[in-house]
């Protein structure tokens, strides 16, 4: 029923649908999503608030079972949090352990996996260095600014050496300057560690600046509106890249697609009853 | 200088009260209210003798064993009940019932079951002290933040590691609030468990003095209980300050923002 995943796909989302069952009735958060990420890709997923981005990420990371469809990681179906995956959440203030110092936070997942002390130390040092926090290992997370807390969360993720890194609007709650720095940090880390990144955002500019590819989600009922390649140079710069005519074009295009989606225009392939066996959706 | 000031604040009121007591008992001779001097005299005489070994230490020992056991049972049970939904649904109505029973009424029942033994006295203490810890732990376990829980889960922190690194620290403020209540309850129950049909212990001794009209001795026993309560409270506060350093720091930052 769904097209087969491309053979080299690292992460593959197949006909994913999620309906929340609540006391007030069923809520369809995601109708039908199908896309692939090749190993080492940096893909942005952009969609308006309430379009089911967080829901999708929870299904991909195995925190929640989809109502229909499946997620494949390296060809294997995801049924619980996979070892090869790390997630960075938007709420940095609630994703770090406030009773542990920065270093212990980064180290804990490795310790829990039984990574030997020497190797652990090396990985933690490297990760803290990479996010520019080598100087605060003994602080508690709540002693740091929001941007720094999110850096700690990123350090924890990369120290874990995941093959896939999922990020759910990680910079939505930090100020503009910090945000620009953190965006560049993500590109640097992506290049340095060769990890596959799925970066979720509601910010169109951010998605175009960061991604090698942008997947545009429609508003609810959520399907993939468009999947475009971002043909900007690999080395990006906040000022230069953003002033390129091509950047403006791409940004314009993404914006247009989202507006179209809001008006109810759907791509021909997805969401039509013919290509899906999905029963009638509630909500 | 700062330490002196703190000490001043701590001691000011007690000193004033003792002074007041001393002045008001200067001339009068009331059989039921001893003067400070006679109380201090009796205090040394009564408690720093064989009684320390035969009455004070066993009482304190039972108190400690009872309170520690109550904390362990309360925390272990609380983590279980707080984490397992069906267990909670099953037990919650029953817990409310048992909690509503005033522990002193259990004393005669426990005497019937266990006789007048140390075990009985410890059981009385446990039966009262376990509830605040248990119920607070359940609440703390249920209040673990969803995002934090998801984070732990995605990093494979499950099972015992989840309890140790996530659930217990996260619930520690509530757990300690429960322990604080248990400590004062424990002292009360220690005394009560010794007042019924007992032949030794602090509670027994105080009642004994009262019945034989040894009034200064009786008062000195009450002072021992007060001092015991105060020292437990100090030790607890010290432990709490250390365990909840992160929590208080975080709250301070939040309030400043
Ligand atoms: N636990 C839940 N129970 C019920 N409805 C939910 C739940 N989580 C999200 N939703 C609903 O699903 C829709 C998508 O939410 P979400 O995935 O958070 O979107 P986004 O992250 O894109 O803002 C929203 O309408 C939201 O109200
Ligand atoms: Mg979201």
Q: Is the pLDDT of residue A281 over 60?
A: no
The token duo for A105 is: 């936070």
Q: What's the rounded Cα separation, in Å, for the pair B219 and B215?
A: 6
The token duo for A241 is: 């890249």
Find all residues with CB under 8 Å of A146, minimum gap 6, and list them.
Answer: A92, A93, A173, A174, A175, A178
Across the interface, do A143 and B249 touch by the CB < 8 Å criterion? yes
A283 lines ligand 1 (CB under 6 A): no
CB B195 within 8 A of CB B207: yes
pLDDT tens digit sequence for A258-275: 888 877 777 755 444 333
Q: Is the pLDDT of residue A1 over 80?
A: no
pLDDT at position A221, please? 83
ipTM score for this prediction: 0.89
- Over residues B1-27, mean pLDDT: 85
Mean pLDDT of chain A: 90
A50 lines ligand 1 (CB under 6 A): yes
Q: How close does chain B come to A87, measured CA to CA in Å? A: 7
Edge to edge, what strands does the sheet with A25-38 contain? A25-38, A9-22, A68-73, A76-77
**What are the beta bridge partners of residue A43?**
A198, A213
Mean pLDDT of chain B: 90
pLDDT tens digit sequence for B205-252: 888 888 888 888 888 888 889 999 999 999 999 999 999 999 999 999
A201 lines ligand 1 (CB under 6 A): no
| Terminal Cα-to-Cα distance of chain B (whole angstroms) | 31
Flag whether residue A145 sits within 8 Å of chain B, measured between CB atoms: no
Strand duo A25-38 + A9-22: pairing: antiparallel
Chain B residues close to A62, C-beta within 8 Å: 154
- Over residues B125-154, mean pLDDT: 95
Find all residues with CB under 8 Å of A31, minimum gap 6, and list them.
Answer: A17, A220, A221, A222, A223, A271, A278, A281
Rounded to the nearest angstrom, the distance between the alpha carbon of A199 and the centre of ligand 2 is 12
Q: What's the rounded Cα separation, in Å, for the pair A107 and A123?
A: 8
**Cα dihedral across residues B106, B109, B112, B113: positive or negative:** negative
Question: Within 13 Å, how many C-alpha atoms sit on residue A23's CB side?
Answer: 0
Specify the DSSP class assigned to residue A223.
Answer: B
Q: What's the rounded Cα separation, in Å, for the pair B164 and B71?
A: 16
The token duo for B138 is: 């359940």
Interface test with A, best of B148, B155, B159 (most A CBs within 10 A): B155
Whole-model pTM: value is 0.88
């Amino acid at each position: 029923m769904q097209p087969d995943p491309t053979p080299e796909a690292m992460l593959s989302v197949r006909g994913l649908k999620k309906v929340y069952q609540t006391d007030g009735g069923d809520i369809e958060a995601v109708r039908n999503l199908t896309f692939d990420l090749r190993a080492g890709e940096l893909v942005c997923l952009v969609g308006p608030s309430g379009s089911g981005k967080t829901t999708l990420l929870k299904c991909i990371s195995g925190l929640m079972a989809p109502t229909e469809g499946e997620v494949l990681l390296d060809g294997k179906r995801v049924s619980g949090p996979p070892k090869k995956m790390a997630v960075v959440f938007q709420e940095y203030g609630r994703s770090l352990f406030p009773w542990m110092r920065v270093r212990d936070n980064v180290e804990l997942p490795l310790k829990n996996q039984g990574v030997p002390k020497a190797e652990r130390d090396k990985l933690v040092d490297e990760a803290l260095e990479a996010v520019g926090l080598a100087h605060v290992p003994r602080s508690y997370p709540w002693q740091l600014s929001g941007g720094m807390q999110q850096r700690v969360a990123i350090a924890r993720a990369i120290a874990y050496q995941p093959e896939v890194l999922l990020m759910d609007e990680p910079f939505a709650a930090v100020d503009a300057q910090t945000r620009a720095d953190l965006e560049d940090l993500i590109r640097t880390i992506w290049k340095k560690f060769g990890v596959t990144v799925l970066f979720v955002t509601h910010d169109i500019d951010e998605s175009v600046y960061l991604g090698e590819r942008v997947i545009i989600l429609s508003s609810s009922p959520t399907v993939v509106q468009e999947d475009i390649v971002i043909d900007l140079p690999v080395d990006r710069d906040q000022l230069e890249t953003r002033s390129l005519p091509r950047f403006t074009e791409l940004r314009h295009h993404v914006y247009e697609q989202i507006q179209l989606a809001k008006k109810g225009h759907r791509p021909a392939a997805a969401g039509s009853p013919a290509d899906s066996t999905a029963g009638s959706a509630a909500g | 200088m700062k330490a002196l000031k703190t000490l001043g604040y701590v001691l000011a009121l007690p000193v004033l009260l003792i002074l007041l007591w001393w002045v008001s008992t200067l001339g009068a001779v009331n059989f039921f209210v001893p003067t400070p001097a006679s109380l201090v005299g009796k205090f040394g005489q009564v408690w720093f003798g064989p009684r320390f070994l035969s009455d004070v230490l066993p009482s304190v020992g039972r108190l400690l064993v009872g309170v520690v056991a109550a904390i362990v049972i309360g925390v272990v049970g609380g983590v279980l009940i707080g984490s397992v939904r069906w267990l909670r649904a099953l037990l919650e109505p029953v817990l409310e019932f048992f909690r509503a029973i005033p522990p002193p009424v259990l004393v005669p029942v426990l005497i019937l079951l266990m006789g007048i033994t140390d075990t009985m006295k410890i059981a009385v203490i446990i039966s009262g002290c376990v509830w605040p810890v248990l119920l607070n732990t359940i609440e703390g376990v249920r209040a673990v933040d969803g995002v934090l829980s998801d984070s732990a889960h995605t990093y494979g922190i499950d099972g015992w590691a989840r309890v140790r690194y996530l659930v217990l620290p996260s619930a520690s403020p509530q757990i300690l609030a429960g322990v604080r209540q248990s400590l004062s309850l424990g002292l009360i129950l220690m005394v009560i468990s010794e007042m019924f049909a007992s032949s030794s212990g602090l509670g027994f001794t105080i009642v004994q003095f009262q019945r034989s009209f040894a009034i200064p001795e009786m008062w000195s026993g009450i002072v021992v209980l007060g001092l015991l309560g105060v020292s437990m409270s100090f030790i607890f506060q010290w432990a709490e300050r250390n365990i909840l350093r992160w929590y208080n720091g975080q709250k301070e930052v939040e309030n400043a923002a």
